[in-house]
Structure 1
Amino acid sequence: MLTKGALQNPYAVLAICLIVIILGSVSFQKMKVDIFPDINIPVILVSTFYRGLSPTEMEGAITLRFEQQFLQASYIEHIESQSLAGISYIKVFFQPEYSIDAAQSELTSLAYSIIRLLPTGVFPPSVYKFGVASLPIGLLTVSSDTLSEKEMRDLAYFTVRPQMASIPGISTPPVLGGKVRQITVFLDQQRMLARGVSPSEVVKAINAQSAILPAGDVKLGDLDYYVYSNSLIGVVDQINELPIKVVNGSPIFVRDIGTAADSAAVQTSIVRVNGRESVYIPVTKQEGANTVNVADGVRARIPKLTEIPAGASVKFIYDQSLYIREAISNLQKEGLLGAALAGLMIYLFLRSAKAALVVSLAIPLSLTSALVLLYM
């Protein structure tokens, strides 16, 4: 019946085929392209850091408290946790029908509601969506023969990363590698004992004398002046001149019991690219973003980066979109080859050019209509 209707209305069939080709081309251009299909398993990762605690202490003081708090969340399937030295990881698995955005919002509220119950000095928890989209689609490396590791990390974190954040669909986690700048006061134990100064007194004195505090306002006539108390330390050497306390009428300064220096925090990761010291930014995509479009956006943005000093280079490596492009290219070649071979076989056996043409066109039309349905 369909065959008879098609033979009686050839122009209608031709119009339908043209519509399918147009819709298929548009769907192919707009369809999300990725290595893995979308897997709807809402998983949230909550990580908390507190240096100095053993795995057992992290579990008792932080992990267990968060786990008990997260039991109040909706649609929980199960919870997994891991406690390491100074690190707590908690994975919360939700039912597939629950929105991952709602899950992240709910866990964030629950996590921050018990911060006051955690040990003093613990870093606020970080709440992330965890899944296939969390895997990097490439690495953005920053290297230089003239900059130090601290300078390279600062360049990547404060210059490169903010300029990349405006690319549609991109997500840029923190920088890995390099050294984090840190102002350190190196204390001399013998001099501290001789003057009766404890480390806590040094910390308290520096914090109290390096702060911005509102001091109110002063109204003079018709004008109202705001008064600010800014005692932030601008030069490292000024820390050495800060008084800690007074003993027998004589002030004890930081320089009397130690030395302040512009140093770096303990390095926890080392990155080398082709044997050169470097830093890198993992490039991930947001949920629903197109891997190929994000990778193209990164490559297009690199030449437009500003404030990059001479001697520094920014490169995009381990680009996962290359594998996707190759797979799509192979699919197109194999589809055309299959259509051509099928048409050739029909022509050889039936000796009919019309039948061979119909078969050769039927395969691309079928694939095009499938693209329309997939996009919908």
Structure 2
Amino acid sequence: MSMVTSALKKPITTVVITASLLLFAVLSALKIPIDIFPQLNSPTIYVIESYGGMSPQQMEGFFSTRLQDQFLYVNGVKSITAKNIQGLTMLKLSFYESTNMAEASAQVALQVNRAMKFFPPGALPPQVVRFDASSLPVGQLVLSAKSRSLKEIYDMAATRIRPMFSSVAGLSAPPPFGANSRSITISVDPSKLRSYNLTPDEVVGALSKFNVMSPSGNLRLDNTMMVTSMNSLVKTVDEFNNIPIATKNGVSILVRDVARVADAADVTVDYALINGKRSVYIPVVKTADASTWSVVKSLKAKIPEMQSLLPDDVHISYEFDQSVAVINSVKSLIT
């Protein structure tokens, strides 16, 4: 008996089945996650530590070896791979497929805190990054201005636009790219240091000592108690010149006597060209469980609010939209 004959003999059953298939097809098309790739469980964690001025051998001895010894206590570790270059060490922890990665991340963070007790003075806490192949850039938020420097645009992107990423569900907040972050450089003249019988450590100590904020107690006036603080933070770049380093024969030696202070920029580590011009952009990276289409739609709705936080001559736009290809694929699937 052919399918046509069966359908003609039972028309009501055929209509019900056809309507059910159509209904479930529409519901599936509305609820299906619109994404580039399916959710992938990649059991990998990266630990990154930087320390300026150290050779690869020193980075391995002071950081990489210490961290590897501690990570042996983490459950589910399959292999540990370390890469050491000048001033940077990166460890890749691979886990077995059945490992609970949330628990593994917590254990890695705990062991990192223990290993930090053996780090050299001044070392910053390592970055612990869980890699997931489903966390992909879905576009770029580009900031541009004709009359402003890249350093100014970078500061606006980092301090005004990036914090707003937390209000968009399923969106992470990587730092801006394309410009050098602002840095206050103090260039010490070795000959002047020798003439005053000073050392570079004394200059560093003076800068740390005279650029702090500390509580100084409470002030009671009748029934009112006010919290007071001793604020000696440097407000402008020129104030660094007036910081005293030491006193010789009753005369204070200031920073300007032995060094030159400049409002400069950090070393160039990234370079972005957009439409043939250097620009600053923030990568739009979604989380692993978020839908590409939902994230992009929510972000575009926030762009007018972001623009209101910027000066009139700074323009913000969403470029390299990956959701276009995704939505076209969904249309083809529905058709």
TM-score, normalized by the shorter chain, greater than 0.5:
yes
Match of 1:165, SS state, is helix
User: What amino acid is the match of 1:157?
Assistant: A
Give runs of aligned pairs for residues 1-376 of structure 1, distance below 5 A: 10-305=11-306, 306-333=308-335
Contact 1:80 1:90 in 2 (8 A): yes
Count of residues in correspondence between the two structures:
333
Equivalent residue number for residue 358 of structure 1: none
Once the two structures are TM-superposed, the CA of residue 257 in structure 1 deviates from its matched residue by 0.8
Give 5+ residue unaligned stretches, structure 2. none
Once the two structures are TM-superposed, the CA of residue 332 in structure 1 deviates from its matched residue by 4.2
Once the two structures are TM-superposed, the CA of residue 36 in structure 1 deviates from its matched residue by 2.2
Give 5+ residue unaligned stretches, structure 1. 334-376
Structure-2 separation of matches of 1:60 and 1:39: 35
Larger helix percent? 1
Structure-2-length-normalised TM-score? 0.91
Give CA-to-partner distance per residue, 1:77-101, whole Å, 9 cap, x none.
Answer: 2122211221211111112122322
Structure-1 separation of matches of 2:8 and 2:74: 61
Between Structure 1 and Structure 2, whose CA radius of gyration is higher?
Answer: 1
Once the two structures are TM-superposed, the CA of residue 204 in structure 1 deviates from its matched residue by 0.6
Once the two structures are TM-superposed, the CA of residue 316 in structure 1 deviates from its matched residue by 2.1
Which stretch of structure 1 is more off in the superposition, 109-118 or 318-327?
A: 318-327
Give CA-to-partner distance per residue, 1:254-307, whole Å, 9 cap, x none.
Answer: 111112222112121121212212111111111211112212222332233222
Distance 1:330 1:146, change over 3 A: same
Once the two structures are TM-superposed, the CA of residue 62 in structure 1 deviates from its matched residue by 0.9
Identity among equivalent positions (%) equals: 32
Match of 1:215, SS state, is strand
Which stretch of structure 1 is more off in the superposition, 15-24 or 33-42?
A: 15-24
Equivalent residue number for residue 352 of structure 1: none
Structure-1 separation of matches of 2:193 and 2:228: 37
Contact 1:143 1:276 in 2 (8 A): no
Distance 1:190 1:73, change over 3 A: same
Structure-1-length-normalised TM-score? 0.82
Contact 2:42 2:131 in 1 (8 A): no
User: What amino acid is the match of 2:315?
Assistant: S
Provide the alpha-carbon RMSD of the alignment: 2.2
Contact 1:133 1:284 in 2 (8 A): no
Structure-2 separation of matches of 1:198 and 1:116: 28
> Following TM superposition, where does structure 1 have runs of at least 4 consecutive aligned residues deviating by more than 6 angstroms?
1-8
Once the two structures are TM-superposed, the CA of residue 46 in structure 1 deviates from its matched residue by 1.3
Match of 2:35, SS state, is coil
